[in-house]
Structure 1
Amino acid sequence: MAKFLQEYKKQQTKKSSARSVAFDGQKKALFASGRKTAEEISRDGVAYLEELKTQVMSTKQQEISYEKYTNGLDQLGEHSNEALAKLVEICPAVSKDLFVRRLQALEASGEMLKSNPSKREKALELCRRNAHAQVIKSQEKEKLATDASRLIKHYKDLLRG
């Protein structure tokens, strides 16, 4: 019986060792595959970053500088300033009177808004109501125009038909 047990243990050891060798082979193949995949991903990532770098550099070269972009705006501003100066030279009385009156009107309006908040709220509410009424009237007019257009088409169809 001892011999039988020894034989049995040998067979079990052989089976276990064969399984262990097969497992080690699978493990090594899996690790090799993982390494290969990681290397491919790494290469692809580096290639993508290089491509991205070249795209950024080409975009940077195509970029218009701020000075070139704003150069025309500076000239336009100078021309409009010159035109305004010529206008003021032509009509000095108008510019003195008009600008002063406009400034005074704006300041008076600002002070009135600041000094009477309740009146401002009332005026705002009145303005809202008027605007709403105007919107409703325009919608009614639009509806009437649509209805009139339909009526005209109906009469034309009756006359033709």
Structure 2
Amino acid sequence: MPEENLIDTQVKALLDLAMDAVAQARMLMSRQIHAQRAVPLDETSLTTLKQELIRGRYLGLITQQSLPRIPKTGEKGVKILLRLLDDPDQYISHRELANAAELRSPTSDAIKVYICHIRDCLDEFGYSGSMVETGLHSYRVRSENVECLIEFIINL
């Protein structure tokens, strides 16, 4: 009997991962469609938005409205990054990050993959992937990197 429960649990975890993969594929496809219709912000609006974000006024608002999408991670990657930005210099556990991103499969492996994709994207956009630091079953960003990371989110 206990072995059957273990198999059921493993199958459920694999199905959750598959559902996350499908959701990510859909988000990437919608991002491609959205990018074709996107209207760029003028310089004044962009500067004002940056200043407000740096002061922390819109971090919560971003998660409630349409989120930008990090390639390969979609909105969930941005939610993870925003959760890290909520508490700079504090290590945030894999579970908290999974909850913030509303992952169906909140395993530490899933978070590791998201963080890897976030770092890759940071590198692609000319930022240092090392701004997201690894702790023991947790991640953090340092307060001196907050402005750069907000700029990164704005430029997505």
TM-score (norm 1): 0.26
TM-score (norm 2): 0.27
Structure with the bigger RCO (C-alpha within 8 Å, sep 6+) is 2
